[in-house]
Amino acid sequence: MHITVLGQLQRLTGALFLIIASCGGSDPSGPGGEGGTDSYGVDHTCTDISVIPGVWIESVQEDIRVHYAHTSHGEQLILGLEQIESDDPSFDMEVGYSELPQAPGALCIYDGQEGETYITPELFWETPEGMDMTREVLDNNPSINVCMWGWCTQLDYYDQSQVQVYLDALSALEAEYPNVTFVYMTGNAQAEGAEGYNRYMRNTQIREYCENNNKLLFDFADLDCWWYNPSTSQWEHSVYSWQGVQVPSEHSQFHGDEAGHTTYQSCEQKGRALWWLLAGVAGWSS
């Protein structure tokens, strides 16, 4: 078992929590970082939702309200949550498009921004107007206590300074909304070649920032790169070689365009990791 510390102090329902979650899996290299280094948050080792006590699932459904903005790749989390609910109704969730559902006993998610459902960086954090749109959602829905935004393929070509704008913007929002847990995210790991290497470097930048500043990370890229093989009961890690560097990339098991530019299996893996993360925010530590 490997321990991943969600070391961000957050105020939830009037109490101050130090969030600690343990992510266990069959991969001997431990929590992901696409390649096995520890990170603050959840990754492929945090996908066995059967170990989350039901009381903490209920706590998420009762106490957690999520604002999630994303592009098409980010839809994978929503689709994954829907698959999990279909298999097990106790993981009840409701999604409102540009609105926060009011559904007792369900994880309620505000999907998008005011009047928008496909949210590019400009509409969430990259411009003053986008920041104001995010503030508008939070101001108009004070019960929201978790906020996150998912990448498309921007990290294939964004440089270090552009990613720093993302990090600074979320940090600024954290200061403005101390009762909201802001979740940082890495970008998908589908690209290879030079673009894939750039993506890997920018994801590494995000991970290192989260580790150094105790930020909460949803490691989307790591979840792309690892697949659990039920035949061997082992995690398999996918990489390609670029100028002498072994660069992690999306596992071939997830190649496809069934939903959100990937497979349903990949979506469900990310949905499971999100339940793990939210249970940690609610106060659970395994």
Give percent of the chain above pLDDT 70.
85
pLDDT of 33: 54
**How many structural domains is the chain composed of?**
1
Domain range enclosing 112: 2-282
Q: Is the pTM of this model over 0.85?
A: yes
**Strands 181-185 and 226-229, bridge-based pairing:** unpaired
Locate all alpha helices (DSSP H) within 141-186, ordered by sequence.
160-176
Which of the four pLDDT bands, split at 50, 70 and 90, describes residue 262?
Answer: confident
Sign of CA dihedral 93, 94, 99, 100: negative
Give residue-wise pLDDT tens across range 122-132. 999 999 999 99
CB 199 within 8 A of CB 245: no
Q: Say which CATH number the domain at 193 has.
A: 3.40.50
Residue entry with tokens 């996150």: 148
Residue 5 has pLDDT above 60, yes or no: no
Which of the four pLDDT bands, split at 50, 70 and 90, describes residue 260?
Answer: low
